[in-house]
């Protein structure tokens, strides 16, 4: 009689679970890159950042020990024993691929990727547009007011000139009358 013994896959190697593989965020937001792993012993956890422009290791640690955080992410990153990391006050430059590698003491490893897209805050753009339009409206109102004042001044100047012209022509007429 044959007996089949089933061993769970997690008994050998590393298993890694990523609940959210794509994250959309806005500038200045704090982001949690959440993962969970299971393995034998205490693993080494490493996160790398990759984009079209650059690729770099951002942090490496063993749970329960001090994390080795890259200079570019010092004071901007927090690690958790379950393998997750938190990025504080993200910017557009943080958009890209975050690759986690969990390696157990025996050498087997597992990796996963989280895509982060950071965009500018829309309401700030709208605020800028509103301020710009208000500025344009104020400039237009000022120009219209100046045109109105200039028009009034020009009208008064023309009336004075017409009046002086009438006076000079009447004087000439009177002079002509006297000569005859």
Tell me which residue of 11, 16, 21, 62 sits closest to 36, measured CA to CA. 16
The answer on 146 and 102 residing in a single domain is no
Structural domains in the chain (count): 2
> 4 lies in a domain?
no
Q: Which residue has the higher pLDDT, 126 or 70?
A: 70
Split at pLDDT 50, 70, 90, the class of 4 is very low
What is the mean predicted confidence (pLDDT) over 157-161? 76
- Is it the case that residue 8 has pLDDT exceeding 60? no
Instruction: Give residue for tokens 């690759």.
Output: 99
The answer on 80 and 147 residing in a single domain is no
**E strand residue ranges, the chain:** 15-17, 22-26, 31-33, 36-38, 44-50, 55-61, 68-69, 77-79, 85-87, 96-103, 109-119
Structure tokens at 14: 């590393």
Chosen domain end from 98, 121, 144: 121
What is the mean predicted confidence (pLDDT) over 18-34? 95
The answer on 42 and 94 residing in a single domain is yes
The answer on 38 and 117 residing in a single domain is yes
- Boundaries of domain holding 88: 15-121
The answer on 133 and 105 residing in a single domain is no
């Amino acid at each position: 009689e044959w007996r089949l013994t089933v061993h769970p896959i997690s008994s050998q190697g590393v298993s890694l679970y990523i609940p959210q593989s794509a994250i959309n965020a806005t500038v200045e937001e704090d982001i949690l890159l959440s993962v969970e792993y299971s393995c034998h012993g205490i693993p080494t956890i490493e996160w790398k950042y990759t984009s079209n422009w650059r690729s770099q290791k951002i942090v490496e640690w063993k749970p329960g020990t001090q994390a080795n955080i890259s200079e570019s992410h010092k004071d901007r990153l927090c690690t958790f024993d379950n393998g997750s990391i938190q990025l504080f006050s993200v910017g557009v430059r943080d958009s890209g691929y975050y690759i986690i590698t969990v390696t157990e003491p025996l050498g087997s490893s597992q990796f996963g990727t989280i895509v982060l897209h950071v965009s500018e805050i829309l309401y700030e753009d709208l605020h800028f547009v509103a301020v710009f339009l208000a500025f344009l409206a104020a400039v237009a109102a000022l120009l219209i007011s100046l045109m109105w004042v200039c028009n009034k001044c020009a009208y008064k100047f023309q009336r004075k000139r017409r009046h002086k012209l009438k006076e000079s022509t009447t004087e000439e007429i009177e002079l002509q009358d006297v000569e005859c």
